[in-house]
Structure 1
Amino acid sequence: MTEADIKMRILLAAKKLFAMQGFEGTSVRQICEEAGGNVALVSYHFGGKENVLFAIFESLFPGQQLPQYEEDMKDPVKGLRIIVEGVIRFKTEDPELAAILDREINMQTPRLERISSYVFPVWRKLRELLENGREQGVFQFRSLDHTLLFVMGCMIFPKCNTLHDLLLTERDRPLQEVIDDTLEFVLNGIGYRQEPK
């Protein structure tokens, strides 16, 4: 097994345990047992449990992929589509990392400032897209701050709390349908005006 394989096993084990038990509730020993390795491996490869958490975000958080969409991000509608789809896919396809992020935010942990450095580029890009779209006359809304929070909420809230599942009657909707419906709702909410063809 290569060093890269060992490191990834540690990251995946830690991600699973942090999601289930929280950062504080997970020991280095538990991470190594879950990864099937020696307890010294976390210190050797990462220098401690906190660095493992940051390495999870560095390696596995999808926001790191934004630069590959740089050309599409010049168009506010295309950029919005990319972010809406990316956030919903992240919340749906990586519930462990999403749970870690939610817990760190809700508990306002000392690690949050560094974790924010992985998340904020996505939200800053969203803000920029909304602002550019409004300047171009493609989006019609009054408050940039309020609209930013509204759009973020549309993407984040549906997967935040299972308590609300009691109100729902439609189960197991296809992911692409959820993405398309959310995007349509957001575009209508921000007064999207499609250019005449």
Structure 2
Amino acid sequence: MSKEQQNEVVEELVADETVESQETAEAGQNEAEAVDARYAELEKQLDESQQRYLRTQADFDNFRRRSIKEREELARYASMKLVTELLPVVDNFERATAAASVNDDAQALAKGVDMIFRQLTQTLEQEGLTAMNVVGEAFNPDFHQAIMTVESDEYEEGIIVEEVQKGYMLKEKVLRPAMVKVSG
């Protein structure tokens, strides 16, 4: 090979290496640009996620505060319906006492009070209040409060002989246990 041919081959090799290094540099630059673009996209997604999280957190805090307020209001006014239903009973008591002060008819007053009592018990029953009938039943500490044990020929041991104070149920729950005397 002549010197001229050798120089040409060397020049071609150098030119090929230059092209390859330029291509490698361009590929590296393209890769860096792609990485930068992906990084920018991920940052944008992170910002959006953080904003969504903050909005959700604020919505939850508002919901929690609203729920607490509604619960407090419900507790404050829970008896409103019952009180509204009892107002006619109060009105009738006022009428009865006004009539009693004008009229000295004890029998009419007793009849009026009896009617008002029936109206009151009917209103309470509509709300789910029921009186317990306990005489003759077996003593149950979940429903009864024993205040005394008595001897009885009529009832066997552990049976309620007498009701001292009525017990009441509100729907399925004991509102007040009955105070009873139990045979012993």
TM-score range with shorter-chain normalisation?
under 0.3
Larger radius of gyration: 2
TM-score between the two structures when normalised by the length of structure 1: 0.22
Higher helix fraction: Structure 1 or Structure 2?
A: 1
TM-score between the two structures when normalised by the length of structure 2: 0.24
